[in-house]
A and B are shown apart, each in its own frame.
Chain A
């Protein structure tokens, strides 16, 4: 009895990896799936000394077993008997668990080793820091159906998978960037503040906004809200009123905080920054850099700060006290704004000790129309007109006729201002038709409502006047020709259609160009006058000078200027610290969420009554520059916010980031790819539950009180959602509960002829637990056979009968719903005299069957891992070689190869471990 086989010597240190032809493995065994089978195999092999890599796609090990209430036939608490296994697995020195990770492929190489490609999904939490304290759950503002509770209740986007999760670590559900947030050029997290307002956390909402942009008051009035333009809710009753919500939160905050609640940073950096221009871009750069500790000086040629906010946008859209309060947000940080002060040349700024400069000049210079008489008194550029109106320098227009030339948004503001200044008649002249007008429809509508007239298909050809003063406009009629490059139909002059109109004031809105000329000698400009910059860093041709806003883009949206400022500040900070500007991206949001996916995730979402925006009456409006749009109430703001579909999952409200005592959140975490080489594989991918919607006659998915048995297990679990057995439709305690066995099993109509093995027993278990919770309830089990075949099972069945549970032999054909939520079950009463019978129940539980998890078969390329006739992983010799598959070195454990109850799964997993160990030992001896 010589032992020439040699012991597989296993000591405290795991065996060295097998090595053939210089190939090494990272682990001896890869186990796919961390349910009870995977854990059992892992523990057996780990105890034998093999190094195990256990990969689980969920954020916790434990699989489905840990979610069960109790388990038959011993009625042990499933979590109580799962958690020790989970803890042993997690802490085993020879087992490495890789959670929240998916296998992409496993390939067997020429040395017989398995090359594994893995994808580690981002949790957005540094698990080495997370302590599982669940503070994040307490503050998270997004509710998501809790899949671990069978979607019976909601959990939070930032969450711990379930109370007994191992490891007990938080993760954040992020499906991508929500469309609203993704659309914001300023980088403001629209979804974030909407969800904070929904949660009633208005100050937090304001502060979140301030992380990205310091001008919430102005943006809440004057922004064109691309966020709303991309809102998924648009597909239902209409967009979430995001801008109105922002205005609510900003107004409310400003009402209680007349001045900012913060001051300058405690410590200041040495490097000084000059900002040229105090428009939205300049103010934002100043804000972001001041927050980082830089002393910032803003140079503003005008008498007051704010740029376009103050001078370009009429007060009826953006009241100037709001601009004032917004600017306090910047000044409170110690930013010095020098008004009535030109910055001087860039070299002067350097001489004066500024280490970096931001050029944020606006677009105040209008283009000339190139029409005779343009120089006449009474022909004005729109920007001049608006600046004068905003500074109160404009004469009364009472009785005057005003013609605004152009069809963009920039034409609407002067027209409406002119009306407010008393003009008798205000006309917008545009050379194409209304359809082609670039102005937003609602702006045009508002202007028309106030009395502005449109003169379409007409363009000015000459301004006539007497004594240098405009009296008449000569115009030419147009018709629409072929589409031009922009796709709009080109206006074509109609010969002989000239006409003259008496006009007192013409306002031209032909276009604006940046006021960059003073710096043209020092930094490179583009032909159109914009500053030449690096698109990513916004650095100009001078390394210490950055530029943004209209100076770079030409006339654009406020939000875009603010976004550029945020970007410029990021790179200016790096520049001033002497760090590299290349090799990194300023902002890399997750890809935008697909709206169809977002809607699919919220199947309950239905259109609600549309929300209307309220405005002042026209009479009231025209009397002064008073703000047209009326604020929304708290109720409206929160109500509007509750319409949010949470497209991205997490709203990026960052409450978790602030609440985490361990500072563990990492929103920049991204998917990771991992390669491993292993000597053997165990497939323990478990099963899937039958989707009872495939049996439409049973009403699952249509009738709330028809539930799946897994839901009932959650209702009965120690960590149950309601702490009671309730029926879903009305929260009533059910008195009369039916079980429909063989739902999706032994049923060729759903192409699943197999018996699922566990349903009889789990139904008996649930019935017994229900009688424990509701001693007076009636429980009826409709069955074909009661298959109580395992150790102690028949005795368990007898016990159930003894408790008064009724057994009816007969398959349920249909379930119908009554008005009160009750359910009528129709079945063939085989043993009660035969024939079709109807019975009423409060709650119907469908004992759904087990189906193969087809993911197992796609682990290996090209169908190498053979399936049996039922799409389970095929065991080549079930009788004497349990667990052995079609690939040498690959084994299967548990329900991946057949429906099994827990005891059989544990035994099978133990067998798979023995087979794997034998394979490893044999292949080592071969070497």
Chain B
């Protein structure tokens, strides 16, 4: 390819009226006159609606008849119709990446109503730039990566186990890596759970039974991911199993369901450390053991006091505060209180809460607890409850905001600290998978609504409470959502990636590493070329962000589709009119 628009290029220009949206403010005939003689242009015409089926067919005919090798459509924002016209070019047999959209609606006609002459001039500039780019464009092909129909699930809690079953249903081969000896995570240790009163232990046993039936699921326990290479659709992963064995896997996608940790109160936090002060998980174990009225160390529990939001919704005075709400604990505590009152209908229960977050249908759990006699006391974070021991008895002092701040003293046999979820310590996994961690310490999705289980690492998905506090049902729903995304990626057999990636000229590169430092995706590797160390862009990792291009002191890097040559060509075209004016 030569620099500057070659005379032998055959460029078509299509100028869209947009039914008056553009033509009311831009003189379309003048515009056509202004651009039809541009270098390489062999066809320039106007059309009422370029996006209409009829106009697209006309363009296809023109591309084929005039053997066009580049086109510019001057119309609306590419946000609207980039893919429309790319597909049109493809149908016409042209390389779709040699189509350029010039936005003369949002960027011109709509912005300059009532100034036809100036708007027309500006439109001509924009179109000239697009023509220049089309004239310099090179045929690009999307990068097709073959995908491996195998998935690694990291973490064998309920979310991970359920994901494994769903992936297996879809005919994908599944490897599950669990760090612990046992599978089932927190749920395996739980008795009756809200909302359906199912027992966690039984639920995990059932899942385990189903997993073991599957021939395309392999379960590794005491297994950790130590290394990952490759890219979306084709990862190589190394597991260390039982501290000795090393297992190499080749998978197309990775689903991370590593769950959460329970908040561990520090000594003295709301009386923690004193006899009779327990955390919510400890209390739930108490509820699951034995029958009849609750007892602790042989002493009956006649009064239980729950202090909510321990380790959650922390204010800024804490050292590294957990600002987030742990979401599940209000309902879990109300549910635990219901279980407690089932065991002993006379048990007195005081719930010291901040906001009762029994959202959605869980509201009924709260309501039921209240009906069973639980008393709810609202405390102020500026004046939190204090747990002390008076004459060997636990006493909780709290000011009840619902009673105008009246100070209460609640002698308690048991104080339950309603501890929330915290991010699990997973440094080696984070490091191996390059997992993004959010400000709250949980794994971060790309976008909570658009791409809630995807991470910035294509092909690596996150789900369950590893991503943030969730109930069991919510964790499972998110893990199945990750199954959907994995299946969408892998069932097709390949993945097409946009060709707009950086390219290194090995003759110029001096391996100064500036580009690797600039690349947020780790897409640049060091390779040997003719005995020299040079940088190479791994196309499947490159996002075309372009951060590497300007930092290269040798100007050895170019971005396909947005090459320096194309951008300079566009600038020259834009400046052309200014010079003549």
A residues adjacent to B (C-beta < 8 A): 1-12, 36, 43-45, 47-49, 71, 73-74, 76, 81, 84-85, 87, 91, 128-129, 131, 133, 135, 661-662, 746, 753-757, 785-795, 798, 809, 830-831, 833-834, 870, 877-880, 882-883, 898-900, 902-904, 906-911, 913-915, 917-918, 921-922
Q: Bound state CA distance, A903 and B481, in angstroms?
A: 11
Q: Is B485 an interface residue (CB 8 A)?
A: yes
Chain B residues 151 to 176 lying within 8 A of chain A, measured CB to CB, are 158, 162, 166, 168-173
Which residues of the partner chain A approach B367 to less than 8 Å between Cβ atoms?
753
Interface residues of B in 333-381 (CB under 8 A from A): 355-364, 367, 378
Residue of B nearest to A882 (CB): B477
Of B49-57, B222-230, B505-513, B566-574, which binds chain A? B49-57
- Segment of B465-473, B525-533, B536-544 engaged in the interface with chain A: B465-473
Known A-B contacts: A792-B324, A914-B166. Give 4 more (CB < 8 A).
Answer: A789-B325, A794-B312, A910-B477, A914-B484
Q: Which 8 residue pairs across A and B have the least CB separation, nearest first?
A: A910-B481, A47-B488, A133-B19, A911-B480, A918-B169, A791-B468, A785-B355, A44-B484
Q: Do B484 and A831 touch across chains, with their CB atoms under 8 A apart?
A: no
Cβ of B389 under 8 Å from chain A: no
A879 touching B472 by the CB < 8 A rule? yes
Which residue of chain A lies nearest to B367 when distances are taken between CB atoms in the complex?
A753
Which residues of chain B are near A786, meaning CB under 8 Å? 355
B316 — nearest CB in chain A belongs to which residue? A798
Contact residue among A45, A757, A830 (Cβ-Cβ distance under 8 Å from B359) = A757
From A45, A879, A921, give the contact of B169 (CB < 8 A).
A921
Contact A81–B447 (Cβ < 8 Å): yes
For A831, the chain B residues whose CB sits under 8 A away are: 378, 401-402, 404-405
CB neighbors of A among B188-213 (8 A): 193, 195-196, 198, 203, 207
A750 → B minimal CB distance (Å): 14
Tell whether A47 pairs with B215 under 8 Å between CB atoms, given A131-B52, A794-B324. Answer: no
Q: Give chain B's interface residues, CB within 8 Å of chain A.
A: 18-21, 48-49, 51-53, 83, 149, 158, 162, 166, 168-173, 193, 195-196, 198, 203, 207, 215-216, 218, 312-313, 323-325, 327, 355-364, 367, 378, 401-402, 404-405, 440, 442, 447-450, 452-453, 467-469, 472-474, 476-485, 487-489, 491-493
Residues on B with beta carbons closer than 8 Å to the beta carbon of A906: 449-450, 452, 481
**CB contact between B450 and one of A12, A81, A785 (< 8 Å): that residue:** A81
Pairwise interchain contact B476-A870, C-beta atoms closer than 8 A: no
Determine how close the nearest CB of chain B comes to the CB of A455; give it in whole angstroms: 68
Whether B480 lies near A910 (C-beta < 8 A) is yes
A870 CA / B362 CA spacing, docked (Å): 12
Candidates B53, B195, B482, B483; contact of A128 at CB < 8 Å = B53
Most buried by A among B83, B218, B355: B355
- Are B401 and A922 in touch, CB under 8 angstroms? no
Which residues in A have their C-beta under 8 angstroms from that of B479? 911
B473 x A882 contact (CB < 8 A): yes
Q: Do A791 and B467 touch across chains, with their CB atoms under 8 A apart?
A: yes
Closest Cβ of chain A to B434, distance in Å, is 21
Q: Which residues of A contact B53 (CB under 8 A)?
A: 128
A/B interface sample: 11 pairs, CB < 8 A = A36-B449, A48-B170, A76-B447, A746-B363, A798-B323, A831-B378, A879-B193, A880-B158, A880-B207, A910-B481, A922-B169
> How far is B169's CA from A795's CA once the two chains are assembled, in angstroms?
39
The answer to whether B218 touches A1 (Cβ under 8 A) is yes
Enumerate chain B residues within 8 angstroms of A36, measured Cβ to Cβ: 449
> Whose C-beta in chain B lies nearest to the C-beta of A1?
B218
Is there contact, CB below 8 Å, between A917 and B484? yes
Known: A8-B491, A882-B477, A882-B480. Contact between A789 and B467, CB under 8 A?
no
Query: Which residue of chain A has its CB nearest to the CB of B166?
Result: A914
* Shortest CB distance A283–B (Å): 39
- The chain B residue with its CB closest to the CB of A7 is B171
Closest to A784 in B: B356
Interchain CB contact under 8 A, B401 and A908: no
Which of chain B's residues have a CB closer than 8 A to the CB of A11?
Answer: 492-493
Q: Determine the residue in chain A with the shortest Cβ distance to B309.
A: A794
Is A133's CB under 8 angstroms from B481's CB? no
How many angstroms between the C-alpha atoms of A228 and B29 in the bound complex?
51
B474 touches A794 (CB 8 A): no
Q: Kindly provide the distance from the CB of B110 to the nearest chain A CB, expressed in whole angstroms.
A: 13
Residues of B contacting A129 in the complex (Cβ-Cβ under 8 angstroms): 52
User: Could you tell me if A913 and B477 are in contact, using CB atoms closer than 8 angstroms?
Assistant: no
- Closest beta carbon of chain B to A682's beta carbon, Å: 12
Closest CB-CB distance, B393 to chain A, in whole Å? 30
Do residues A44 and B360 form an inter-chain contact, with CB atoms below 8 A? Answer: no
Please indicate which of the listed interface residues B48, B83, B488 has the most CB atoms of chain A within 10 Å of its own CB. B488
Task: List, in ascending order, chain B residues with CB within 8 A of A833's CB.
Answer: 404
Given A5-B168, A8-B491, A922-B169, A904:B477 Cβ within 8 A: yes
Contact of A44 among B195, B401, B467, B485 (CB under 8 A): B485
CB distance from A704 to the nearest CB of B (A): 32
- Residue contact A787 to B359, C-beta cutoff 8 Å: yes
Q: Which of B324, B449, B453, B477 contacts A902, CB < 8 Å?
A: B449
Closest-by-CB residue of A relative to B329 is A789
The answer to whether A879 touches B448 (Cβ under 8 A) is no
| Residue of A85, A755, A790, A914 contacting most chain B CB atoms (<10 Å) | A914
User: Do B170 and A8 touch (CB < 8 A)?
Assistant: yes
Query: Nearest CB to that of A78 among chain B residues?
Result: B449
- Given A9-B493, A922-B169, the answer on whether A898 and B360 have CB atoms closer than 8 Å is yes
Cα-based distance from A834 to B404 in the complex (angstroms): 7
Chain A: CB-nearest residue to B195:
A878
Taking the closest CB of chain A, its distance from the CB of B18, in whole angstroms, is 7
Which chain B residues lie closer than 8 Å to A45 at the CB level?
484
Q: What's the Cα separation between A5 and B207 when bound, in Å?
A: 19
Cα of A913 to Cα of B487 in the assembled complex, Å: 10
Contacts of A131 in B (CB 8 A): 19, 48-49, 51-52
Q: Is the Cβ of B468 less than 8 Å from the Cβ of A908? A: no
Chain A residues, CB < 8 A from B158: 879-880
User: In the complex, what residues of B have CB within 8 A of residue A91's CB?
Assistant: 83
A135 to chain B: closest residue by CB? B19
CB pair B83 A914 closer than 8 Å:
no
CA–CA, A9 and B492, complex, Å: 7
**Cα separation A922 to B171 with both chains bound (whole Å):** 9
**A3 to B173, Cβ gap below 8 A?**
yes
Is the pair B491, A899 in contact by a Cβ cutoff of 8 Å?
Answer: no
Partner of A2, one of B207, B215, B361, B404: B215
Given A757-B360, A789-B359, the answer on whether A913 and B484 have CB atoms closer than 8 Å is: yes
* A residues near B405, Cβ cutoff 8 Å: 831
Taken together as a complex, chains A and B put the C-alpha atoms of A786 and B312 apart, in Å, by 15
| A831 to B405 CA separation, bound complex (whole angstroms) | 8
Q: How far is the CB of A512 from chain B (nearest CB, A)?
A: 55
- Give the chain A neighbours of B215 by CB distance below 8 A: 1-5
Is there an interface contact between A911 and B491, defined as CB atoms closer than 8 Å?
A: no
In the assembled complex, the CB of A506 is this many whole angstroms from the nearest CB of chain B, namely 68
B173, B193, B215, B476 pick with most chain A CB within 10 angstroms: B476
Whether B357 pairs with A785 at a CB distance below 8 angstroms is yes
Residue contact A899 to B313, C-beta cutoff 8 Å:
no
Chain B residues in 8 Å Cβ range of A4: 215
Chain B's closest residue to A904 (CB) is B474
- In the assembled complex, the CB of B535 is this many whole angstroms from the nearest CB of chain A, namely 33
User: Contact between B52 and A791 (Cβ–Cβ < 8 Å)?
Assistant: no
Contact A910 B49 (CB under 8 A): no
In whole angstroms, how far apart are the Cα atoms of A788 and B357 in the complex?
8
Q: Which residues of B contact A914 (CB under 8 A)?
A: 166, 170, 480-481, 483-484, 487
Q: Which residue of B lies closest to A47 (CB)?
A: B488
Chain A residues near B313 (CB, 8 Å)?
Answer: 794
Contact of A3 with B171 in the complex, beta carbons under 8 Å: yes
Give the distance in Å from the alpha carbon of A911 to the alpha carbon of B463 in the complex.
11
Q: Which of B171, B207, B327, B477 contacts A789 (CB 8 A)?
A: B327
Interface centre among B169, B195, B360 (most CB of A within 10 A): B360
CB neighbours (8 Å) of B481 from chain A are 44, 906-911, 913-914
Asked if A899 meets B360 with Cβ closer than 8 Å, knowing A786-B355, A911-B480, A921-B169, the reply is yes
A754 to B218, CA, bound (A): 42
